[in-house]
Structure 1
Amino acid sequence: MELYRIGIVRERKRVLRELGVESGGVKIMAEKMQTLWIKIRRLRTPAANILKQDALSIGADLAVPSGVITCETEYVDALLIATRAQLRTLARKERAQPFGLKRLAGELEGFLNEPGEPVKIMGVLNANEDSFYAGSRFLGEAAVERIEAMIGEGAAIIDIGGVSSRPGSEPVSAEEELERVRPICEALERSGLTEKALFSIDSYTPAVVEYALQKGFGLINDITGATDERIIALAKAYQARLCIMHMQGTPQTMQLDPHYEDVTAEVDAFFTERIEACEAAGLSRDQLILDVGIGFGKTLEHNLELLRNHANFLRHGCELLIGASRKSMIDRIIPTPTEARLPGTLAIHLKAVENGATIVRCHDVAEHRQALAVWEAIGL
Structure 2
Amino acid sequence: MKIYKLALNDIKKFLYSLDCDKSGIAIMSKKAKIHTLFIKDLHVGAANILKQDALSIGADLAVPEGVIVAKERYVNALLLGTTKHFEILSRKELAQPFGLKELAKNLKDFVKEQKFSTKIMGVLNANEDSFFKNSRFDNSNASQRIEKMIEDGANIIDIGAASSRPGSLPISCDEELNRVKDIVQTIYKNRFFEKVDFSIDSFSPKVIEYVLENGFKIVNDITGLQNDEVCSLVAKYKAQAVIMHMQNNQTNMQEKPYYEDIMLDIDDFFKQRVEKAKSFGIEDIVLDVGIGFGKTLEHNLKLLKNLEHFNHFGYPLLIGASRKSMIDMITKSAIEDRLSGTLAIHLEALKNGASIIRCHDVKEHFQAIRVFEAINEIN
Residue 5 of structure 2 corresponds to 5
When structure 1 is superposed on structure 2, of 191-200 and 93-102 the one drifting more is 93-102
1:312 partner amino acid: H
Q: Say if 2:199 and 2:216, in contact at 8 Å, map to a contact too.
A: yes
Partner of 1:278: 277
Q: Which residue of 2 aligns with 1:214?
A: 213
Residue matched to 1:332: 329
Work out the CA distance in 2 between the residues paired with 1:282 and 1:97: 35
Deviation at 1:4, TM superposition (A): 0.9
Distance 1:239 1:372 in 2: 29
Q: Report the TM-score when normalising by structure 1.
A: 0.96
Q: Match for 2:44: what amino acid?
A: T
Normalized against structure 2, the TM-score is what?
0.96
Contact preservation (8 Å) 2:59, 2:85: yes
What does residue 259 of structure 1 align with? 258
The 1:15–1:237 alpha-carbon spacing in structure 2 relative to 1, beyond 3 Å, is: closer
Q: Indicate yes or no: 2:34 matched with 1:39.
A: no
Deviation at 1:234, TM superposition (A): 1.1
**Aligned twin of 1:143:** 142
In structure 2, the residue matched to 1:225 is: 224
Tell me if the contact between 2:142 and 2:186 (Cα under 8 Å) persists in the aligned partners: no
Q: Judge conservation of contact 1:115–1:357 (CA < 8 Å) in 2.
A: no
Cα drift, residue 24 of structure 1 = 3.1
1:307 corresponds to which letter in structure 2? L
- 2:328 is equivalent to residue 314 of structure 1: no
Residue 14 of structure 1 deviates from its aligned partner by 4.9
1:195-229 per-position Cα deviation (integer Å, ceiling 9, x unaligned): 21111100011111111100111110010111111
- Matched with 2:295 is 298
* Structure 1 segment 1-380 matched on structure 2, within 5 A: 1-10=1-10, 12-284=11-283, 287-379=284-376
Q: Which runs of 5+ in 1 are unaligned?
A: none
Is the deviation greater in 257-266 or in 312-321? 257-266
Three-state SS of the structure 2 residue aligned to 1:5 is coil
Distance across 1 between alignment mates of 2:85 and 2:188:
52
CA offset digits 1:216-250 (Å, max 9, x no partner): 11110010111111111111111001001111111
User: Sequence identity of aligned pairs in percent?
Assistant: 53
Asked whether the 8 Å contact 1:87–1:108 carries over to 2, the reply is yes
Q: When the two structures are aligned, how many residues end up with a matched partner? A: 377
Alpha carbons of structure 1 residues 50 and 354: separation in structure 2 relative to 1, 3 Å? same
Tell me which amino acid in the other structure corresponds to 1:316.
Answer: F
Q: Given that residues 157 and 198 in structure 1 are in contact (C-alpha distance below 8 angstroms), is that contact kept between their aligned partners in structure 2?
A: yes
SS at match of 2:111: coil
Could you tell me how far apart the structure 2 residues matched to 1:337 and 1:61 are? Answer: 47
One-letter amino acid of the counterpart of residue 175, structure 1: D
- Aligned-residue offset at 1:106: 1.9
Inter-partner Cα distance in structure 2 for 1:134 and 1:91: 51
1:86-143: CA deviation from partner (whole Å, max 9, x where unpaired): 1111111112222222211122111123332110000000000000000100110312
Q: CA deviation at 1:155?
A: 0.7
SS in structure 2 of the partner of residue 373 of structure 1: helix
**Separation (CA, whole Å) in 2 of partners of 1:126 and 1:162:** 6
Q: Is the 8 A contact 2:122 2:359 kept in 1?
A: yes
How far apart in 1 are the matches of 2:209 and 2:114? 30
Q: 1:125·1:143 contact (CA, 8 Å) conserved in 2? A: no
Taking only aligned residues, the RMSD between alpha carbons, in angstroms, comes to 1.3
SS of alignment partner, residue 250 of structure 1? coil
